[in-house]
Amino acid sequence: MHALIGKKVGMTRVADRFGQIVGVTVIHATPNTITQVRTVEKDGYRAVILGHGDPNRTNKPQREQLKKVNAKAGETTMEIRTDRINTTQTEEPETVGTEHTVSVFKPGDVVNVVATSKGRGTVGTVKRHHFKIGPRSHGSMNLRRPGSIGAQQPQRVILGKRMAGRLGGTRTTVKHLEILEVLPAEHLIVLKGAIPGIRGATILIKQSIRHPRAESKQLGGDE
């Protein structure tokens, strides 16, 4: 199981192996601790719960839960399903207290990143749904208006009608990002491309299981 909780440091530019300048995202991920293991026999599915952050910042319910399993972890915990991963790969079973570091990944791996996107507040339909603006000619009064929101019948707004509202601030997944570099001494991972969230946002990195390169590795193919 390859997954890690970390913090988004920011973006910069580096040269890849072909000499091309690409935009990258730097992630700082201190060691994660497995705080709980879910099994098919007891819970109906297989998963592990990772803990990340400063142990001194945990609240009382978290401290009591960690005390029961004799594990140390921070204030952030996330559950990662492992029953969707091919079990043919030879990996040791996960146990409570095991630490995961950035070394679980290596350059060339393809991962998915889960994070909370930037909140934009209440915005109109042009910015939220990319509506076309009206004519800018003299006398026009419907430049950014949404237009009609329904017909005379059935005399109500149909559920799902695209209208103005809150944009961003939602759980978002970006798939199939390539890891360019792993720096174990600094607890850093360099990803090719952009990920959601502000600087300092908590993010989850997990191995991609639907990418052709990742599928070949799970089946024992050549890298």
Q: Are residues 210 and 139 in the same domain?
A: no
Is residue 66 in some structural domain? Answer: yes
Residue 58: per-residue pLDDT = 84
Q: Is the pLDDT of residue 178 over 50?
A: yes
Using one digit for the tens of pLDDT, what is the confidence trace for 55-89?
Answer: 888 888 888 877 777 777 778 889 998 876 655 45
Question: Are 37 and 140 members of one domain?
Answer: no
pLDDT, mean of residues 3-26: 93
Q: Do residues 124 and 206 share a domain?
A: no
pTM: 0.81
Whether 223 is covered by a domain: the verdict is no
**Strand pairing of 99-100 and 32-38?**
antiparallel
Q: 102-130 pLDDT, tens per residue?
A: 999 999 999 999 999 999 999 999 999 99
70 Rama class: left (phi>0) / alpha (psi -120 to 50) / beta: left
The DSSP symbol for 129 reads H
Domain interval for residue 34? 3-119+171-218
Is 152 inside any structural domain? no
149 lies in some domain: no
One domain for residues 208 and 126: no
Q: How many domains does the chain have?
A: 2
pLDDT tens digits for range 195-217: 999 999 999 999 988 777 655 55
- Does 153 map to a domain? no
